[in-house]
Chains A and B, each alone.
Chain A
Amino acid sequence: MRTAERTVDRSLARDVGAIGLAVFAVGMSFGAIAVAAGLPAWAVIAMSIVVFAGGSQFMAVGLVAAGNPFAAVFAGLLLNARHLPFGLAVADAVGTGWRRRLIGSHILIDESVAFTMAQSDPASRRRAYWLTGATLFVSWNVGGVLGVMLGGAVGDTDALGLDAAFPAGLIALLLPSLRDPETRNVALAGTLVAVVTTPLLPAGLPVLLALSGLLLMRRNGGGL
């Protein structure tokens, strides 16, 4: 039992480490881009620590630089609204007690949810959640500080193909749960809705519309 647990921990640490490296590199590019857009170094570093949601940070920097602070907040919050349903789904892994919840909520991100969902038993879910969240919080922020310091010397992460690494990692983590037909139908329908509406709607909204896939739930004793 102990040995099995340690093996699981080691493979989890390795997988989280791989995504951690990618997050570190993207964090660096965020720091460099934000400074290049004219934001002061302290603001860039502070934003990475207190917001800790990459997509909304890139968007906010772009909109602030374009002189549109209200849009930066509004669009960023629309993009981050998905964290509420995510919190509902992984609350058990965050744990009980206020200290755990207050700290644990802050490291709720796409990847910590995906790694948690890939685990089945409660103890593994908790370990996966905290290890992923804490590791990525450190790599995102250390990367951000380095990016601020190095500025223009940081290359474009797209050249490294990192933009393809994140969706592929999410798919790999999701695949086991997609073996269940109901989950697969709901997820595929939701994805279709999101992809089709992306060119038409403001960022963040299409992903939320993926929840419409829940209409395909089996209605045994209720459903929607």
Chain B
Amino acid sequence: MLIAVIVALAVGTYAFRLAGVILHDRLELPAPLRRMLPLAAAALLAALAGTAALTDSGAFAGIARPAGVAVGALLAWRKAPFVVVVVSAAATAALLRLAGVP
């Protein structure tokens, strides 16, 4: 049963990945649709970042995580190096939790 779950999840996930990569060339997409692809990816990634920053299992994520992401986002906006952004976000969340902020 566990093997079936792993196989189904693996095959399905790989099918999604491969389908997108192959369809891109197979479908002669009209120009407006081609222009839509990077926009679609940006919308999905932004939504992923937004939901991961603000929610946890469908509920509000608390204070430490959104605060950490906000510090990272602010630094990114001020053109700080990527490593600085990631480390500052993590450090902010970690320190707030250490101080007892959820």
Closest to B76 in A: A172
CA distance A194 to B3 in the complex (A): 32
Minimum CB–CB distance for A124 against chain B, Å: 15
Is the beta-carbon distance between B68 and A14 smaller than 8 angstroms?
no
Is the beta-carbon distance between A87 and B32 smaller than 8 angstroms?
no
Q: Which residues of B contact A76 (CB under 8 A)?
A: 9, 12-13
Q: Which residues of A contact B67 (CB under 8 A)?
A: 164
Of residues 149 to 170 in A, which have CB atoms within 8 Å of B's CB atoms?
A: 158-170
Closest to A68 in B: B5
Closest to B83 in A: A18
- Selected contact of A195 from candidates B31, B55, B83, CB within 8 Å: B55
Of residues 185 to 224 in A, which have CB atoms within 8 Å of B's CB atoms?
A: 186-195, 198-199, 203, 206-211, 213-214, 217, 221-224
Minimum CB–CB distance for B24 against chain A, Å: 3
CA distance A92 to B72 in the complex (A): 30
Closest to A104 in B: B21
Q: Which residues of B contact A190 (CB under 8 A)?
A: 43-44, 46-47
CA distance A206 to B24 in the complex (A): 24
Given A72-B9, A172-B86, A175-B76: A159 in contact with B42 (beta carbons within 8 A): no
Q: State the main secondary structure of chain B at its contact with A.
A: helix
Q: Which residues of A contact B58 (CB under 8 A)?
A: 198-199, 203
Is the beta-carbon distance between B44 and A60 smaller than 8 angstroms?
no
Is the beta-carbon distance between A83 and B10 smaller than 8 angstroms?
no
Is the beta-carbon distance between B6 and A50 smaller than 8 angstroms?
yes
Is the beta-carbon distance between A168 and B20 smaller than 8 angstroms?
no
- Selected contact of B49 from candidates A14, A60, A88, A167, CB within 8 Å: A167
Is the beta-carbon distance between B76 and A206 smaller than 8 angstroms?
no
Write the residues of chain A forming the contact surface with B, with a CB cutoff of 8 angstroms.
14-15, 18-19, 22, 39-40, 43, 46-47, 50-53, 56, 60, 64, 69, 72-73, 76-77, 80-92, 94, 96, 101-102, 104-106, 108, 110, 113-114, 117, 158-175, 177-178, 182-183, 186-195, 198-199, 203, 206-211, 213-214, 217, 221-224
Write the residues of chain B forming the contact surface with A, with a CB cutoff of 8 angstroms.
1-10, 12-14, 16-25, 30-33, 35-59, 61, 64-69, 71-73, 76-77, 82-83, 85-95, 97-98
Q: A73-B8, A160-B90 are in contact. List 5 more A-B contacts (CB 8 A).
A: A51-B13, A53-B13, A88-B37, A168-B90, A203-B57
